[in-house]
Amino acid sequence: MTAPITPLLSVRDLRKTYGHRIGCADVGFDLYPGEVLGIVGESGSGKSTLLSCLAGHLEPDQGEVVFDTRADGPRDTRRMSEPERRMLGRTDWAFVHQHARDGLRMGVSAGGNVGERLMAVGARNYGNIRNEAIDWLGRVEIDETRVDDRPSAFSGGMQQRLQIARNLVTGPRLVFMDEPTGGLDVSVQARLLDLLRGLVRDMGLSAIIVTHDLAVVRLLAHRLMVMKSGHVVEHGLTDQVLDDPQHSYTQLLVSSILQV
Amino acid sequence: MSDYNFAYLDEQTKRMIRRAILKGIAIPGYQVPFASREMPMPYGWGTGGVQVTAACLTPDDTLKVIDQGADDTTNAVSIRKFFQRTAQVATTEKTGKASVIQTRHRIPEEPLREDQILVYQVPIPEPLRFLEPRETETRKMHALEEYGLMHVKLYEDIARHGHIATAYAYPVKVEGRYVMDPSPIPKFDNPKLESAAIQLFGAGREQRIYAIPPFTRVVSLDFEDHPFEASKAAHPCDLCGATHSYLDEVITDDAGGRMFVCSDTDYCTTRQEAGHRGRLSPQEDAA
Ligand SMILES: Nc1ncnc2c1ncn2[C@@H]1O[C@H](COP(=O)(O)OP(=O)(O)OP(=O)(O)O)[C@@H](O)[C@H]1O
Ligand SMILES: [Mg+2]
């Protein structure tokens, strides 16, 4: 695979502190189109902080997050105006929360949840919006007869799939996911992972996936970043990092999983 | 005689409210925060409208107060008495004779003029509240013109009922910019929001004032394949025969008898006085 010249996302020297405590620091990497980057590390290592800074939900103390925009090429998202950043957030970017209810409107039907982003970018034909919503429910394996049901009537796995459909409907180029399989039964997790893998492949998505679960990254991520105490301690191709971990912390992480 | 300042509120407060009104007129459809005062009536009885009216009234004004189109409901009567007592202004039931009209739930049928002010009582000013309870977020949505959520509400309507079932407080976009809740008027009245009169909206509990200046473009939100319709009951008025006025359904007996009459009482009486008759009009005596 030959990498294109321009990374989709280019992160430099990113730092976020909470008072004296470090959230994340000295983070830098490039993400190329079609690439999936996994971020692993123990609880409190700074994964969610980093992801939130990348997605513009948290304001970093310093650093650059340069995104290759469709219209104007690479731009530092931190220097964008808020309307521009929020527009990115509902068009080219998507964010899948660990808890589906943080990413869904629980009082709105499944169809309305999927249709929201379409309406947010100007779709004004009910029939088209509904058809697209039904199409997307199918792609995440939710029966179209459920299109008018509220997510509260869905199982955890279905809610998570609905959240994914809601995010992908506008054809984003970059998807942020924070523990997308967390809190789900193992069998449900496997199905969701399968689905995600298919979508990422078929849509040529670029994604950054935060997880505790090395099985998730093994299946989905091309590259892997290992975090500890807010810092990236190891970074490389997923198989290399998992099969031949260099940093002692990664070795511990990998072996602790193997022992399970 | 009265011990109150003219129109009850002190001059300082009226100035503050007028500033909010002017700002509202300068930014059509934008909700201007204001420091709502305690009024000698409970919230839900139009304290927002009453404060706006108080700030607009001059001794020369003629005031009309309607509630659901009628001048004689408890709410309308008590607000009218309140201003008779505290401002000694003239009052009227004739839409055409009023210079200030305070209303709840209706816009008069008779087209308003440039020298008139229509003041609405508003319970919930925020049209996005239904789907987004966070005030910080709805403010941001207004500021950034992110109104997709408004259509989600209409989408839900169609998904559930097969058509846009929202019949009251139907959301509008004002002058191509702010999405606004026109207060719980029937959607039949929405086209009348494009008016020669100044329209002011006051929400007491929520402490917001907003406005539609004269001749402002007001568009009701909809979908291409489910266009907005200013619908009403498909009947003429049984008392005055009007075919294009908003009707109330009145149960007349316990055997299923019912009649449709104009909800705008002044409009209906004026038409009857002019000789218009409906299906159930009393038979005229051969004099
Ligand atoms: N809002 C906050 N205020 C103060 N400190 C915070 C805040 N959020 C996170 N932290 C701290 O920042 C560090 C990184 O937290 P973060 O939530 O990013 O970790 P994480 O890797 O996502 O953990 P987990 O796997 O448990 O989700 C931790 O020390 C945490 O206590
Ligand atoms: Mg986390």
Query: How far apart, in whole angstroms, are the C-alpha atoms of residue B189 and residue A150?
Result: 32
Strand partners, B66: B103
Say which residue, B33 or A190, is predicted with more confidence.
Answer: B33
Residues 216 to 275 of B: which have CB under 8 A from any A CB?
A: 223-226
B254 within domain boundaries:
yes
CB within 8 Å: B149 and A83? no
ipTM beyond cut 0.95: no
- Structure token pair of residue B14: 């009226």
Query: Is any Cβ of chain A less than 8 angstroms from the Cβ of B159?
Result: yes
Pocket of ligand 1 contains residue A182 by CB under 6 Å: no
Q: Distance from B267 to chain A by nearest Cα, in Å? A: 37
Phi/psi zone of residue A191: left (φ > 0), alpha (ψ -120 to 50 degrees), beta? alpha
B5 within domain boundaries:
no
Of the candidates B170, B187, B220, which is a domain's last residue?
Answer: B220
- CA–centroid distance, residue A43 to ligand 1 (Å): 8
DSSP H or E run through B218: strand B218-220
DSSP state of B274: T
B225 within domain boundaries:
no
Residues B123 and B214 in one domain: yes
Residues B73 and B155 in one domain: yes
B135 within domain boundaries:
yes
User: Which residue in chain A has the smallest CA separation from B130?
Assistant: A107
DSSP H or E run through B220: strand B218-220
Contact B176, B169 (CB under 8 A): no
Provide the CATH number for the domain around residue B199: 3.40.50.11310
**Which of A14, A16, A48, A213 for mutating ligand 1's site (highest number of atoms within 8 Å of CB)?**
A48
Nearest CA to ligand 1 atom 28: A44
Residues B156 and B105 in one domain: yes
Residues B73 and B109 in one domain: yes
- Please choose, from the candidates B16, B20, B83, the residue with its C-alpha nearest in 3D space to the C-alpha of residue B46: B83
Instruction: Give the count of domains, chain B.
Output: 2
* Per-residue pLDDT, B287: 44
User: Which residue in chain A has the smallest CA separation from B151?
Assistant: A119
**Structure confidence at residue A257 as a pLDDT band (50, 70, 90):** low
Nearest CB partner across the interface for A126, out of B131, B144, B226: B226
Tell me the chain B residues in contact with residue A116 when contact means C-beta distances shorter than 8 Å.
148-149, 152
Nearest CA to ligand 1 atom 24: A43
Q: Distance from A126 to chain B by nearest Cα, in Å? A: 6
- CA–centroid distance, residue A205 to ligand 2 (Å): 22
Pocket of ligand 1 contains residue A45 by CB under 6 Å: yes
Nearest CB partner across the interface for A126, out of B131, B144, B225: B225
Q: Relative to the alpha carbon of A17, which ligand is closest?
A: 1
Residue A254 has pLDDT above 60, yes or no: yes
Nearest CB partner across the interface for A109, out of B146, B156, B224: B156
Residues in chain A: 260
User: Which residue in chain A has the smallest CA separation from B226?
Assistant: A126
Place of tokens 């559930």: B160
How do B90-91 and B62-67 pair as beta strands? parallel
* B137 SS3 class: helix
Of the candidates B220, B247, B264, which is a domain's last residue?
Answer: B220
Q: Relative to the alpha carbon of A25, which ligand is closest?
A: 1
Give me the amino acid identity at A155.
Answer: S
B3 within domain boundaries:
no
CB within 8 Å: B223 and A126? yes
> What's the angle, vertex CA B156, arms to CA B153 and CA B159, rounded to 5?
155
Residues B239 and B215 in one domain: no
Contact B156, A112 (CB under 8 A): yes
Residues B206 and B238 in one domain: no
B43 within domain boundaries:
yes
- Structure token pair of residue A165: 């459909």
Residues B173 and B103 in one domain: yes
Residues 6 or more apart whose CB falls under 8 angstroms from that of B136 comprise none
Tell me the chain B residues in contact with residue A110 when contact means C-beta distances shorter than 8 Å.
none
Contact B149, B193 (CB under 8 A): no
B227 within domain boundaries:
no
Residues B247 and B132 in one domain: no
* Per-residue pLDDT, B3: 72
* Per-residue pLDDT, B282: 82
Pocket of ligand 1 contains residue A46 by CB under 6 Å: yes
What's the Rg (C-alpha) of chain A?
A: 18
Residues B83 and B176 in one domain: yes
- CA–centroid distance, residue A88 to ligand 1 (Å): 25
Query: How far apart, in whole angstroms, are the C-alpha atoms of residue B176 and residue B215?
Result: 13
Tell me the chain A residues in contact with residue B224 when contact means C-beta distances shorter than 8 Å.
124-126
Query: How far apart, in whole angstroms, are the C-alpha atoms of residue B138 and residue B180?
Result: 12
Q: Distance from B189 to chain A by nearest Cα, in Å? A: 23
- Structure token pair of residue B179: 């999405």
Residues B104 and B215 in one domain: yes
CB within 8 Å: A125 and B148? no
Q: Which domain holds residue B261?
A: 232-280
pLDDT (tens place) for every residue of chain B, 287 residues total: 457 799 999 999 999 999 999 999 999 999 999 999 988 887 778 899 999 999 999 999 999 999 999 999 999 999 999 999 999 999 999 999 999 999 999 999 999 999 999 999 999 999 999 889 999 999 999 999 999 999 999 999 999 999 999 999 999 999 999 999 999 999 999 999 999 999 999 999 999 999 999 999 999 999 999 999 998 888 999 999 999 999 999 998 899 899 999 999 999 999 999 999 999 988 765 44
Ligand 1 atom nearest residue A19's Cα: 4
Residues B159 and B198 in one domain: yes
Q: Distance from B149 to chain A by nearest Cα, in Å? A: 7
- DSSP track, chain A: -PPPSS-SEEEEEEEEEETTEEEEEEEEEEE-TT-EEEEEESTTSSHHHHHHHHHTSS--SEEEEEEEETTTEEEEGGGS-HHHHHHHHTTTEEEE-SSHHHHS-TTS-HHHHHHHHHHHTT---HHHHHHHHHHHHHHTT--GGGTTS-GGGS-HHHHHHHHHHHHHTT--SEEEEESTTTTS-HHHHHHHHHHHHHHHHHHT-EEEEE-S-HHHHHHH-SEEEEEETTEEEEEEEHHHHHHS--SHHHHHHHHHHHH-
CB within 8 Å: A119 and B152? yes
Least confident of A20-29, A209-218, B55-64: A209-218
Residues 6 or more apart whose CB falls under 8 angstroms from that of B275 comprise none
Residues B89 and B145 in one domain: yes
B197 within domain boundaries:
yes
* Per-residue pLDDT, A260: 39
**Structure confidence at residue A1 as a pLDDT band (50, 70, 90):** low
